[in-house]
Amino acid sequence: MIIILLGAPGAGKGTQADLIGERLGLVTIASGNLLRENIGNGTPLGLRADAYMQRGELVPDGLVIDMVTARLKAPDVARGVILDGFPRTLGQAQALDANLAAQHKQVDRALYLKVTDEALLDRLSGRWICRNCQASYHEKFNPPRVGGVCDLCGGELYQRNDDRRDVMENRLRVYFDQTMPVIEYYQANGTLVEIDGAQDIEKVGEDLLAAVGPVPAVVVEGVTDSSAA
Ligand code: AP5
């Protein structure tokens, strides 16, 4: 099962990827998190990506496609995956399709979280992220149990550099220019399902799970795994 989560910055992709990933027993690959890990580790990819991310621009396709393609080869992805933040250009969508087709796979659902621009800016300005596991909180809509501390792993919470107002506005512009065509691409091939992302977090999760339906069992080396919902 290959699921893509689409939506503007702040639409709730990361929040929902964690929530439905756990319910469906699927691994999440978040391109933004992979890039931030590379920056944190000072890798050559991280050094190149950092300047683009600080300006709220997309990292060039070649770098991101190679990074995600390598991650998709890991054994934990065999059962399926939720892609958060990738693809976000037509070039990335076409590269993903070609990569999956070579493995006799395809995108099963492209789930589009739709939220108004005003709500997006509110969400991003109140967002706090765990430095350790990258879980996402909001000071008003989804606060941690203890201020500044991650509920899941006890890590320190911080605010992302690119959640500054000027960078946020650029990220939204880039999204409308470069990622809206990706939404149209999946609409045209019949895999897109639009979800009202303005509802509360639990209700959005329920709608997403209903749109996905049951995850088919897979057979890995003779063992049938149908453990998820
Ligand atoms: P990335 O990390 O992917 O950021 P993004 O797409 O801008 O999305 P966000 O993480 O900001 O938002 P989200 O939708 O995950 O929302 P969240 O769940 O946190 O990308 C960052 C940068 O990396 C890009 O600008 C680019 O430079 C680069 N990059 C990444 N992928 C790339 C690619 N494929 N190609 C090229 N470059 C790439 O929620 C937001 C807040 O709202 C949280 O506080 C949350 O608690 C709250 N919230 C969530 N849902 C609700 C709800 N239903 N009600 C109320 N509050 C809610």
The model's pLDDT over 92-144, given as tens digits with 9 standing for 90+, comes to 999 999 999 998 999 999 999 999 988 998 999 999 999 999 899 999 999 99
Cis preceding-peptide flag for 87 (omega within 30 of 0)? yes
The alpha carbon torsion through 61, 9, 134, 160 (nearest 10 deg) reads: 100
The token duo for 38 is 């590379």
Span 161-183, mean pLDDT?
Answer: 94
**pLDDT value of position 88:** 97
Question: Which residue CA neighbors atom 52 of ligand 1 most closely?
Answer: 201
Range 209-228 average pLDDT: 64
Helix-helix angle 117-125:165-174, to 10 degrees:
140
Angstrom distance (rounded) from CA 86 to CA 170: 18
Does residue 229 have a pLDDT over 60?
no
**pLDDT score at 218:** 58
* pLDDT of 228: 43
Express each pLDDT in 31-58 by its tens digit: 999 999 999 999 999 999 999 999 999 9
- 132 vs 76, 152, 156, 165, 199, CA distance in Å? 20, 10, 7, 24, 28
- Band of pLDDT at residue 209, cut at 50, 70 and 90: very high
What gap in Å lies between CA 225 and CA 79, rounded to an integer?
8
pLDDT of residue 118: 86
For residue 164, what pLDDT is reported? 87
- The pLDDT of residue 226 is 46
Predicted TM-score of the model (pTM): 0.91
Q: What is the mean pLDDT of residues 20-33?
A: 95
Q: Is the pLDDT of residue 216 over 90?
A: no
Mean pLDDT of the chain: 92
Domains and CATH numbers, the chain: 2-116+177-225 (3.40.50.300)
80 lines ligand 1 (CB under 6 A): no
- CA-nearest of 123, 110, 92, 93 to 9 is 123
The secondary structure of residue 199, as a DSSP letter, is S
pLDDT for position 54: 95
| Ligand 1 centroid, distance to 160 Cα (angstroms) | 10
* Ligand 1 atom closest to the CA of 68, numbered from 1: 34
96 is written with which tokens? 């993903």
Q: Kindly state the average pLDDT of the residues 191-200.
A: 97
Q: Which of 13, 36, 71, 123 is catalytic?
A: 13
